[in-house]
Each structure stands twice: as structure tokens, then as C-alpha cells.
Amino acid sequence: MSVQCNSHSSPAAWRYGGNQLKRWRTKANVSREELAAASNYSPDTIKSMEQGVRMPTSRVLDVADELCRAEGLLSAAKEYLQREKFPARAQDFMDREKEAISLWWYEPLLIPGPLQTEAYARLLIGDHVPTLDDETVEQRVKARVERQQIHTRKPMVACSYILYEAALRGSYVDENQLLHLLSVGRLRNVSIHVLPYKRATTAALHGEMVLLETKDHERLAYTEAPSVSQLTADPKIVSAQIERLSMIRGMALDPYESAHFIERMVADQ
């Protein structure tokens, strides 16, 4: 049995990049305020990058490289930092999602990541608290859109989504997002179920959950909160999540009924 947990700790690449940024800046006698003004960031943001709390952006690294006369050594870090496309707490899950052979997802409030349109993802990520800089927003939007490949890659991945009605009526949802759900739901390996308000019970109100199976047939359960997340293969937790998911799926509309539910929502737009 293996258990993996994610917390809010920053990736090593962020911490190392920030450490080098501070070392070069100090060596060149460049103040944090000077670097902030030249790169159009606040001094507090630069401090967060140097501490590894935020990912050092390409713009900051390029500006610092020039100011500190690092001769390309700071700019070279961009290649490695750009690999961190997701929040630190979600990295393990994203790695496993890439190799999943099946995916079951229940979402009570938001459209699941692999089902989001670019516009929806940009609004959602852009409203992140604490505020993200534009470069990070665009990087995460691009990564979010890339996750849609799970629906079309080979070998095919069996994907099943259950969406509580509240997720479909969220403030970021527009007609294009609803139409996108209908389009993805027509794929043979994807099923989308809607859980109407009137069918929900307590089991549906305890938050999102994701279950996935790897190519080695290991089953994992993933849960996420604003500041912490957990990815685990603990059989007891996985079994409990499977039971809860089965209960919720039994309450939800079947894919055919769900498509008609979404179509009616489109007509009401």
C-alpha cells in the first residue's frame, strides 16, 4: 500500500530558482525594489519568488539576468520552471492523470478541469486568491486546456463525470461551456451525468472527489481543498470513495437524460 499526500509546500524548482535569483541580485547590489520596478512587479511579489512561495516568472528572470549581468544563467532557469504547470499541491495528481486508464470524477460546484473551456478556465484561474500574475494565469490556462487530451488519447481512457446542478449554474458558466459539455459527452469513452438539486442527498454535499486507475491497475483517490489536497492509494479511503461515488451516481440522471437537461439549460440562456 502506498500513500501520497500533497500539501502547500513549494516545488524544489521554485525554491532553487528563487534562491539563485536572490543570490545574483545581492551579488550585483541590485535592490528588491529596483528589480520590482524594472520587471513591473511589486517588491512583495519579488520577495515571494525569492522565498520560493511563487514561481519566478520568465519576465523576472530575464530582467534580473540583465540587471545582475548573469550572462544567461538566470534566464536559463525558465526551461525548468516552466515544467511546473500546476499548483504544487496538485503536481502528483496531474502526473497520475497523464497515465490513467480510467477516471471517475464528481464535482459539486465547478466544472471539472478536463471539461473546462479556455474561457471558463481563464475566468476561474484569474479569480484565484491570492492573485496570480498574468504570466502564471496564462501558463495554467494552457495547462488546463491540455488536460482535455485525456478524452482523445490512445489507448482510450474511460472517463465518467458527475456534475451537481450547482456546477452547471455557476457564475463562470456560459452557453459555450454548456455546448462543450454536450460535445465531449458524445465521445464513446466519456459519460457525463447531471445530479439535479432535487435528487441530491447528504452524500452529494461533502465536496468533490476523483478516482483514477493507473496502467498498473492501482486505484487512487484524490480530494482537494483551497490550501491542501490528498492523493492516496489507501484501500480503506479508496473503498469509501467508491461507495460514495456509487451512491451519487445512482441519484444522478443517465447520460441521455443529462444531455437533455443541459440542452434545456442552453435553450434558457
Per residue, the 3-state secondary structure of the chain, as one string, reads CCEEEECCCCCHHHHHHHHHHHHHHHHCCCCHHHHHHHHCCCHHHHHHHHCCCCCCCHHHHHHHHHHCCCCCCCHHHHHHHCCCCCCHHHHHHHHHHCCEEEEEEEECCCCCHHHCCHHHHHHHHHCCCCCCCHHHHHHHHHHHHHHHHHHCCCCCCEEEEEEEHHHHCCCCCCHHHHHHHHHHHCCCCEEEEEECHHHCCHHHHCCCEEEEEECCCCEEEEEECCCCEEEECCHHHHHHHHHHHHHHHHHCCCHHHHHHHHHHHHHCC
Answering whether pTM is above 0.75, one says: no
The residues, ordered by sequence, that sit 6+ positions from 130 with a Cβ below 8 Å of its Cβ are none
Residue range 84-108: average pLDDT?
Answer: 81
- Over 60: is that where the pLDDT of 3 sits? no
- What pLDDT is recorded for position 7? 43
Residue range 165-186: average pLDDT?
Answer: 97
CA dihedral for 164, 168, 171, 177, sign (positive or negative): positive
- What pLDDT is recorded for position 210? 95
pLDDT digit string, tens, across residues 225-239: 766 778 899 999 999
Kindly list the structural domains of the chain, giving each domain's residue range(s) and its CATH number in brackets, ordered by start: 11-81 (1.10.260.40), 88-267 (3.30.870)
- Over 70: is that where the pLDDT of 82 sits? no
What average pLDDT is seen over the chain? 89
Partner residues linked to 121 by β-bridges: none
Tell me the C-alpha distance between 216 and 94, whole Å.
17
CA dihedral for 9, 14, 35, 227, sign (positive or negative): negative
The residues, ordered by sequence, that sit 6+ positions from 246 with a Cβ below 8 Å of its Cβ are none
pLDDT digit string, tens, across residues 203-225: 888 889 999 999 888 999 998 87
Dmax over CA atoms of the chain, in Å, equals: 66
Q: Among 206, 243, 201, which residue's Cα sits nearest to residue 107?
A: 206
Please tell me which residue, 79 or 155, carries the higher pLDDT value: 155
Tell me the C-alpha distance between 100 and 94, whole Å.
10
- Asked if 103 and 150 count as a contact pair (C-beta separation under 8 A), the reply is yes
CA 158 vs CA 55, 114, 153, 257: distances in Å: 34, 13, 11, 20
